[in-house]
Copies of this chain bind each other. A is one copy, B any other.
Amino acid sequence: MKTSTSTSKPSAKYHHGNLRQTLLAAAKQMIAADGIESLSLRKLADKVSVSRTAAYHYFDDKNDLLCAIASDGFRQWQQLLKQSEQQNQTERQKFEQYLINYMVFATHHPEEYELMFGRCIWKQAQCTEELQTIAHGTFQHQVEMMAYWQSIGLVAGDNPLRTAQIIWGTLHGIAKLFIDGVYVDDTRAEEIVKSALPMFLVPKD
């Protein structure tokens, strides 16, 4: 799961080999441990036993590095989605599974999730071309799924884009309130999502 040269061996080689991957892996590990805010390029360089500015050969910016992590996050999410779609269940089950997957992914990778959908990258700091395209693809896919679920009479509404925005908004909001620590009671995010599920469905008879 982890490149052998990342944390264990400094390896003392001038040419590191695959520094880019090592940096990304170490950075993910660090933000998972201490949060995005407390990630500095210098501490990252220290951890990888490399100079302060070595990362600048692979990333334009700190922002560029964070964008790369976010892109990886989207790839991971897409893979999880594809994997889940292949299981043969009823469409209703697939829909429910989609909602739960979203929640599990968000709450299990809170920092990556923040990078993927948070303000840091999308707002002021412009996001990478790569990130923009992969993110847009994910949204597109989501809208298409919604259109299909509406066409077979599972999900309510007749405007897939609008419905996707609402459902995504709901998931995103619940996820963020959890991640950011606003919901302090012991309620589980998945339970809330399961409660919200019937809202989205076409009423059964």
Using a CB–CB cutoff of 8 Å, the interface residues on chain A facing chain B are 35, 37-38, 114, 117-119, 122-124, 156-157, 159, 162, 165-166, 168-177, 179-183, 187, 192, 195-196, 199-200, 203
How close is A36's CB to chain B, nearest CB, in angstroms?
A: 9
Contact in complex: B180, A117 (CB < 8 Å): yes
- Closest chain B residue, CB of each to CB of A116: B182
Tell me, in angstroms, the Cα distance from A199 to B169 when the chains sit together: 13
- Closest chain B residue, CB of each to CB of A196: B166
Contact partner, A165, options B35, B123, B180, B192, Cβ 8 Å: B192
Chain A: interface secondary structure?
Answer: helix
* Residues of B close to A117: CB separation below 8 A: 177, 180, 182
Contact in complex: B180, A174 (CB < 8 Å): no
Contact partner, A199, options B159, B175, B192, B200, Cβ 8 Å: B200
Tell me, in angstroms, the Cα distance from A176 to B122 when the chains sit together: 11
How close is A90's CB to chain B, nearest CB, in angstroms?
A: 22
State the 4 A-B residue pairs at the shortest beta-carbon distance, nearest first. A173-B173, A169-B174, A169-B173, A172-B173
* Residues of B close to A173: CB separation below 8 A: 168-176
* Residues of B close to A159: CB separation below 8 A: 195
Contact in complex: A181, B37 (CB < 8 Å): no
Tell me, in angstroms, the Cα distance from A171 to B38 when the chains sit together: 29
How close is A161's CB to chain B, nearest CB, in angstroms?
A: 8
- Closest chain B residue, CB of each to CB of A120: B37
Contact in complex: A122, B168 (CB < 8 Å): no
* Residues of B close to A118: CB separation below 8 A: 180
Tell me, in angstroms, the Cα distance from A119 to B182 when the chains sit together: 9
Tell me, in angstroms, the Cα distance from A27 to B50 when the chains sit together: 39
A-B contact pairs, 12 of them (CB 8 A): A38-B124, A123-B179, A123-B180, A165-B174, A165-B187, A165-B192, A166-B174, A166-B192, A166-B196, A168-B177, A169-B170, A169-B192
